[in-house]
Chain A
Amino acid sequence: MADVNDKPTALTATHTRPKVVEVPRPTPDQQVFLRSTNLRPGPYDHNVVVGGPSRVRRPTA
């Protein structure tokens, strides 16, 4: 195993890269999680009525 000190650092690198990086595939549990997450906004029922007249009255004991 290479010593970590052999690796380039940002300060010592010569910027001869960019280097292509492979993106790993999500694991099975990650795929399940992503499928269960609402990625797209909505949908919603446009006709749901909210915020009717207030029923708050002056509170008394």
Chain B
Amino acid sequence: MWSDLAVVGATVACSQPYSFYFDLIEKVWKAKGTNNLPLHRLCTLARKQGARTIVLEPASRLEHVKHEIDVLDRMYGGGAGGGAAEAVSISFFDCDIVDDDDLGDVPNTAFLGQAIVINYRPPESADFTISYVFEGILPPPSLSRDNGHRFLLNNYLAAHREHTCEVRGRPFSVQGVYYCQQNSNTHVCAHACLRMAMRTTTETDLTAKQINDLLGITPPCEGLSLGQIVQVIEHQGLEAEVTDVKDDLKYLSVLASIVESGDLALLVFTTGNEAAAGQGQSEEHVVLVYGHTRNSDEWHPQAIPVYAGPGSAEYLPASAWIDHFLIHDDNLGPYYTLGTQALERDPDVKPHWIIAIREKATGLTAMGAEAIATVMLTNMLPVLAPSSNGRWFDYITQQPWRYVLRTILMSRDDYITHLREARGHDETAATEEELEPLNALPERLWMVEFSLPSLFTGNRAKLGEVLLMADPDKPEDIDDVFLGLRLPNLLVVKDPATKTMLQTDCSLQSHSALFRRTTCGVEW
């Protein structure tokens, strides 16, 4: 059994001239030379959020911390002559706290988050050899906390969850994306990403030991196979969709579709380091992707457009305006932004795999949906031209345009609700009667929104949607996959009985707001 080394609790003012470098990290990070960047990152975020007080206290009293150290100690032999550990929780507040007993007066809004650091010294060792951030729970960075959560400009989060942290026995709650660092022994970055994803999307507090027990792994760990990652996700009642994006710039669109649909993704990229297993294979690192940023003023999508699609049906992927993905990197810390050019800087550091974590995997890829959508849209609009008239209807049916396409996975019910609530720029709206044919759609579908650059970036609006099956038996059979199309004035929906496309009127005659699955704050 390991020895629980004493940690002295303290309440410390951390405003200037307090140094997180020398007054905190140097003292609490005991395994010298090990990667303390995640704790630096957490302190940096706390500093940026206006931290004025930190509360230090022993964390080994917490059951999940004790359990984590037990597992680590067992790996090193444990037993009577086990190792020694100290665990410290560091809680950040943006107010002054002078009295050790006055936390009852501290409003929950003053709580900035908490990090728990574990230091471990193996049996027979004179020094600590392992230090890591066991967990870090902070809210997403925000501009102002006065009126609740106000995320940074144009930050869109696919998921976050309320977490409860205990500080001197008092619970504080915080909405955020769970973070943890690997210890390179009982868990590695794949474990960390799975824990981060599951603790953000489900109520399950998945532990590394549970992952290893499920997979029959005895630490020390050397990474997880893609099959094992999928197995863990499925064991949590979710499904995974693995896409090979090696040498494929479409990885940006794949990631965009996942997070815009409200799901999380694991992004795997090469590192240039040879894998421990040798054989000349490059080691691959995993990070969690939970959102994106969008720059509606981005120059390149229109100035030097890289159109996707065939020559006769070119389009602009909406992902062209995404300038960063929001990620947690267990090696560096939480709440980083991964620039969309970042993985083009080093030939050894390239995207390879994307693992979408969904309630249910799809039978048609997002890129497939986008490809079919651009073909259908291009071919259908001229056919529909004689069927109605109106400013926007005529504008898009009488001349071909290169549309912006945005691909979202959603339920039929959400789609119907979305259209029911949609209001055109001219205040028009679809009637209940007009939406009736949509009840014939399958339970889940790909909705590919189409827009024009000025509407997409300025109004955050679209002109309609192409609807496609998310779970087709034969995705190559586009007649089977194509479910319908909505544009100003018209709705075209497949009749499931006759398999014919039926066109009906729709009173929504103008552009309307894009569908939102993500949470955002200030937008531009």
* Interfacial residues, chain A to chain B (CB-CB below 8 A): 2, 4-5, 7-11, 13, 15, 17-27, 29-30, 32-34, 37-42, 44-59
Tell whether A53 pairs with B184 under 8 Å between CB atoms, given A18-B502, A39-B365, A44-B226.
yes
Q: Apart from A37-B367, A49-B222, what are 13 other A-B pairs with CB-CB below 8 Å? A: A5-B389, A21-B502, A23-B380, A41-B243, A45-B226, A46-B230, A48-B226, A49-B275, A50-B190, A50-B223, A53-B185, A55-B283, A56-B35
Closest to A24 in B: B379
Contacting pair A56 B284 (CB below 8 A): no
- Bound Cα distance A33, B478 (Å): 13
Contact residues in B for A54 (Cβ distance below 8 Å): 35, 182, 184, 188-189, 330-331
Tell whether A21 pairs with B383 under 8 Å between CB atoms, given A34-B375, A53-B188.
yes
Contacting pair A4 B475 (CB below 8 A): no
Total of A-B residue pairs, C-beta within 8 Å: 214
Contact residues in A for B309 (Cβ distance below 8 Å): 33
Closest to A3 in B: B389
- Bound Cα distance A32, B36 (Å): 51
Complex A-B, nearest 4 residue pairs according to Cβ-Cβ distance, in ascending order: A46-B227, A51-B190, A39-B368, A33-B310
Tell whether A49 pairs with B380 under 8 Å between CB atoms, given A13-B388, A55-B273.
no
Contacting pair B501 A30 (CB below 8 A): no
Flag whether B286 is at the interface (Cβ < 8 A).
yes
Flag whether B164 is at the interface (Cβ < 8 A).
no
Q: List B175-189 residues whose CB lies under 8 Å from chain A.
A: 182, 184-185, 188-189
Tell whether A23 pairs with B482 under 8 Å between CB atoms, given A38-B368, A39-B364.
yes
Looking at chain B's contact residues, the main secondary structure is mixed
Contacting pair B33 A58 (CB below 8 A): yes
Contacting pair A50 B286 (CB below 8 A): yes
Closest to A48 in B: B226
Contact residues in A for B33 (Cβ distance below 8 Å): 57-58
Contacting pair A23 B273 (CB below 8 A): no
Contacting pair A15 B241 (CB below 8 A): no
Contacting pair B367 A38 (CB below 8 A): yes
Contact residues in B for A56 (Cβ distance below 8 Å): 35, 37, 331-332
Contact residues in A for B310 (Cβ distance below 8 Å): 27, 29-30, 32-33
Contacting pair A53 B372 (CB below 8 A): no
Q: Which of B268, B310, B380, B390 gathers most chain A CB within 10 Å?
A: B310
Contacting pair A37 B368 (CB below 8 A): yes
Flag whether B17 is at the interface (Cβ < 8 A).
no
Contacting pair A41 B388 (CB below 8 A): no
Some 9 contacts from A to B, beta carbons below 8 A apart, are A10-B388, A15-B505, A23-B380, A24-B380, A26-B478, A37-B368, A41-B365, A52-B275, A53-B222
Q: List B190-211 residues whose CB lies under 8 Å from chain A.
A: 190-191, 193
State how many angstroms separate the Cβ of A61 from the closest Cβ of chain B: 14
Contact residues in A for B353 (Cβ distance below 8 Å): 44, 48, 50
State how many angstroms separate the Cβ of A36 from the closest Cβ of chain B: 9
Closest to B220 in A: A53
Closest to A60 in B: B33
Contacting pair A41 B241 (CB below 8 A): yes
Closest to A59 in B: B37
- Bound Cα distance A40, B229 (Å): 20
Q: List B295-338 residues whose CB lies under 8 Å from chain A.
A: 309-313, 330-332
Flag whether B277 is at the interface (Cβ < 8 A).
yes
- Bound Cα distance A24, B495 (Å): 17
Contact residues in A for B133 (Cβ distance below 8 Å): none
Flag whether B344 is at the interface (Cβ < 8 A).
no
